[in-house]
Structure 1
Amino acid sequence: MSPCRSLSAATLSWLVAQSAATSPISVKVHPDVYAKLTDEANPEWHQVTLDAAQKNIQFTTL
Protein backbone atom coordinates (compact mmCIF):
# COMPACT_ATOMS: atom_id res chain seq x y z
CA MET A 1 0.00 0.00 0.00
CA SER A 2 1.32 3.40 -0.84
CA PRO A 3 0.37 6.38 1.31
CA CYS A 4 -1.61 9.10 -0.39
CA ARG A 5 -1.68 12.48 1.27
CA SER A 6 -3.72 14.09 -1.48
CA LEU A 7 -7.03 12.27 -0.96
CA SER A 8 -9.88 14.74 -0.95
CA ALA A 9 -12.71 15.08 1.55
CA ALA A 10 -15.10 14.34 -1.33
CA THR A 11 -13.33 11.04 -2.07
CA LEU A 12 -13.53 9.88 1.53
CA SER A 13 -17.11 11.12 1.82
CA TRP A 14 -18.01 9.02 -1.21
CA LEU A 15 -16.31 5.98 0.33
CA VAL A 16 -18.33 6.42 3.52
CA ALA A 17 -21.61 6.99 1.66
CA GLN A 18 -21.10 3.87 -0.47
CA SER A 19 -20.17 1.58 2.40
CA ALA A 20 -22.52 -1.30 2.99
CA ALA A 21 -20.32 -2.92 5.63
CA THR A 22 -22.17 -4.90 8.27
CA SER A 23 -19.27 -5.01 10.70
CA PRO A 24 -16.82 -2.33 11.86
CA ILE A 25 -14.10 -1.36 9.40
CA SER A 26 -10.93 0.71 9.63
CA VAL A 27 -9.57 2.85 6.83
CA LYS A 28 -5.88 3.68 7.04
CA VAL A 29 -4.98 7.11 5.75
CA HIS A 30 -1.86 9.23 5.48
CA PRO A 31 -1.09 11.23 8.66
CA ASP A 32 -1.79 14.50 6.80
CA VAL A 33 -5.26 13.26 5.84
CA TYR A 34 -5.89 11.97 9.36
CA ALA A 35 -5.00 15.40 10.77
CA LYS A 36 -7.63 17.00 8.55
CA LEU A 37 -10.26 14.40 9.47
CA THR A 38 -9.74 14.98 13.19
CA ASP A 39 -9.58 18.77 13.02
CA GLU A 40 -12.91 19.96 14.47
CA ALA A 41 -12.14 23.46 13.16
CA ASN A 42 -12.33 22.10 9.60
CA PRO A 43 -16.05 21.34 9.16
CA GLU A 44 -15.82 19.77 5.68
CA TRP A 45 -13.26 17.17 6.72
CA HIS A 46 -14.58 16.62 10.24
CA GLN A 47 -18.06 15.90 8.87
CA VAL A 48 -16.58 12.94 6.99
CA THR A 49 -15.40 11.55 10.34
CA LEU A 50 -18.82 12.07 11.91
CA ASP A 51 -20.60 10.41 8.97
CA ALA A 52 -18.15 7.50 9.09
CA ALA A 53 -18.78 6.95 12.79
CA GLN A 54 -22.50 6.55 12.06
CA LYS A 55 -21.62 3.70 9.70
CA ASN A 56 -19.14 2.13 12.13
CA ILE A 57 -16.14 3.22 10.02
CA GLN A 58 -13.01 4.38 11.77
CA PHE A 59 -10.10 6.24 10.23
CA THR A 60 -6.62 5.39 11.44
CA THR A 61 -3.21 6.63 10.43
CA LEU A 62 -0.36 4.68 8.85
Structure 2
Amino acid sequence: MRGPVAVGVGALLVLVGLLWFLQGIGVVGGSAMTGSTTWAIIGPLVALLGAALVVRGRSGGSRS
Protein backbone atom coordinates (compact mmCIF):
# COMPACT_ATOMS: atom_id res chain seq x y z
CA MET A 1 0.00 0.00 0.00
CA ARG A 2 1.43 3.35 -0.98
CA GLY A 3 1.08 7.03 -0.32
CA PRO A 4 -2.39 8.48 -0.17
CA VAL A 5 -4.09 5.09 0.00
CA ALA A 6 -2.07 4.06 3.06
CA VAL A 7 -2.74 7.41 4.72
CA GLY A 8 -6.48 7.14 4.03
CA VAL A 9 -6.79 3.56 5.23
CA GLY A 10 -4.61 4.34 8.23
CA ALA A 11 -6.70 7.36 9.20
CA LEU A 12 -9.86 5.27 8.91
CA LEU A 13 -8.34 2.59 11.14
CA VAL A 14 -7.38 5.21 13.73
CA LEU A 15 -10.97 6.51 13.82
CA VAL A 16 -12.49 3.03 13.99
CA GLY A 17 -10.03 1.99 16.69
CA LEU A 18 -10.88 5.08 18.72
CA LEU A 19 -14.61 4.39 18.37
CA TRP A 20 -14.14 0.75 19.44
CA PHE A 21 -12.08 1.84 22.44
CA LEU A 22 -14.69 4.38 23.51
CA GLN A 23 -17.42 1.77 23.15
CA GLY A 24 -15.36 -0.74 25.10
CA ILE A 25 -14.93 1.61 28.05
CA GLY A 26 -18.61 2.58 27.95
CA VAL A 27 -18.31 6.20 26.76
CA VAL A 28 -20.22 5.52 23.52
CA GLY A 29 -23.32 3.42 23.98
CA GLY A 30 -25.87 1.75 21.78
CA SER A 31 -24.22 -1.50 20.73
CA ALA A 32 -23.27 -4.94 22.02
CA MET A 33 -19.67 -3.67 22.16
CA THR A 34 -20.52 -1.13 24.88
CA GLY A 35 -18.78 -1.91 28.16
CA SER A 36 -16.86 -4.88 26.73
CA THR A 37 -13.22 -5.18 27.78
CA THR A 38 -12.46 -7.00 24.52
CA TRP A 39 -13.17 -3.86 22.48
CA ALA A 40 -11.34 -1.67 24.97
CA ILE A 41 -8.24 -3.73 24.11
CA ILE A 42 -8.78 -4.26 20.37
CA GLY A 43 -9.59 -0.58 19.70
CA PRO A 44 -6.19 0.87 20.65
CA LEU A 45 -4.40 -1.93 18.78
CA VAL A 46 -6.32 -1.11 15.60
CA ALA A 47 -5.66 2.61 16.13
CA LEU A 48 -1.92 1.96 16.51
CA LEU A 49 -1.91 -0.11 13.32
CA GLY A 50 -3.68 2.76 11.56
CA ALA A 51 -1.17 5.30 12.89
CA ALA A 52 1.68 3.12 11.62
CA LEU A 53 0.05 3.04 8.17
CA VAL A 54 -0.30 6.82 8.17
CA VAL A 55 3.37 7.26 9.08
CA ARG A 56 4.46 4.73 6.47
CA GLY A 57 2.26 6.31 3.80
CA ARG A 58 3.56 9.80 4.52
CA SER A 59 7.21 8.74 4.57
CA GLY A 60 7.13 7.11 1.17
CA GLY A 61 6.21 3.54 2.07
CA SER A 62 8.05 0.44 1.01
CA ARG A 63 11.54 0.24 -0.41
CA SER A 64 11.59 -2.60 -2.92
Task: Judge same fold: TM > 0.5, yes or no.
Answer: no
Larger Rg: 2
- Higher helix proportion: 2
TM-score when scaled to structure 2? 0.25
- Higher strand proportion: 1
